[in-house]
Structure 1
């Protein structure tokens, strides 16, 4: 049994019809889903699942992915196996996560190109995001320079491509994994690639926008010293109309 991950092929898909294939307590598994279960610092999607022509509706209150199955935790008695349901995500929240995730790739790609340092951690929130880098120097001059370069990348409106490659071919690409620790499980045979054409290319399982200008302006709002060679940058996004 395996859940078809519709968000992997099109991050802009916000609704789908699916069939319940398993039930465990208040969790249901579907044969296909638009709900991103969370991971890689990106928050899980929110939304609702309806069935019986919309007569029944459940809020999706938690999610997790176990092996190849995405489980949706709902807040009411679950439908039975074989029930056809409609899953609808909170689009505004998803799109904010897409913009934020792409913004972190712009930040990561820019810092890699400029300074050649790796990522040591990251996390997205509804209103901000942070990323940690194996960097010694992060003075005001460098912070201002980084902010200038990431916003130049946003305005350049680079296209973003998402595709998969066989594991062996993917890992032949230099610096595909930018984290200090390779988090890709060894059993993964196909590696999903997110490429900001002209700036960045990484193995990634999250959702993204189609071009960098959709992200809007990127403002570095906070920095922290997390160790001698570990610095944290926190960012917020501005509306694309404000560019």
Structure 2
């Protein structure tokens, strides 16, 4: 299977993270399973980033999309009371721009956090999650230095103001691993049968395998606040961040 497809669906968001509206055709439609499109920019969720929401416009009506099921195909989950476009229907897809854009800023902010923690403290990530504007990463970090929260906040925003470019690269697996440590988690979670790897490269700060959506530079993230640093025991530290409006 091509890296930019999931089942029968061409995943447009992997190559164009700015895309918000597009034309497509319904391949399957089922009240229980949902809707399969031939082309979709709905991010299906993964790596802690939740799936996109939005609408499909067709025949003078709209079908609201509230989530995605990842099976052999990508099944868009419609609002239960909305009409379903039949297979073969030409529709226009549209992403909830405010939600997606905030998730892109948040996800890129997590990569800045990961990069700073890896470079400054040499600690790997053990878990994470995000919602629009708020997120957390967990680290294997036994000793937290004095004043860590304030120091980390300052470092994160130094990297934001540095306006580092954030680029997407797709490389054969062996070539990707030759670039250096592209896995910043404690465990390598890349499937063994994955032939090509999608990388997110924050110039000079962070390079890692990632399938999510991101802004084009660190300055576009906006200010990052470290809300809390939690001690979860046995060297387990949780760092919570937020992006103020």
Aligned-residue offset at 1:143? 2.1
Counterpart mapping for 1:60-209 below 5 A: 60-67=65-72, 69-75=73-79, 76-209=82-215
TM-align CA RMSD: 1.4
- How does the TM-score come out when normalised to structure 1? 0.93
Cα distance between partner residues in 2 of 1:101 and 1:119: 14
What is the aligned counterpart of 1:40 among 30, 35, 47? 47
User: Residues 81-140 of structure 1: CA distance to partner in whole angstroms, max 9, x if unpaired?
Assistant: 111111101101100000000000000001100111100111111231111011012254
User: Residues 22-48 of structure 1: CA distance to partner in whole angstroms, max 9, x if unpaired?
Assistant: 223340111111111111111111111
Tell which deviates more after alignment, 135-144 or 103-112.
Answer: 135-144
Q: Flag as ranges the 4+ runs of structure 1 deviating above 4 A.
A: none
Aligned-residue offset at 1:174? 2.1
The aligned counterpart of 2:63 is 58
Aligned-residue offset at 1:5? 1.0
The aligned counterpart of 1:21 is 27
- How does the TM-score come out when normalised to structure 2? 0.92
The aligned counterpart of 1:214 is 220
Cα distance between partner residues in 2 of 1:237 and 1:137: 26
Gaps of at least 5 residues in structure 2 are 1-6
Tell which deviates more after alignment, 142-151 or 33-42.
Answer: 142-151
Q: What is the count of residue pairs matched by the alignment?
A: 236
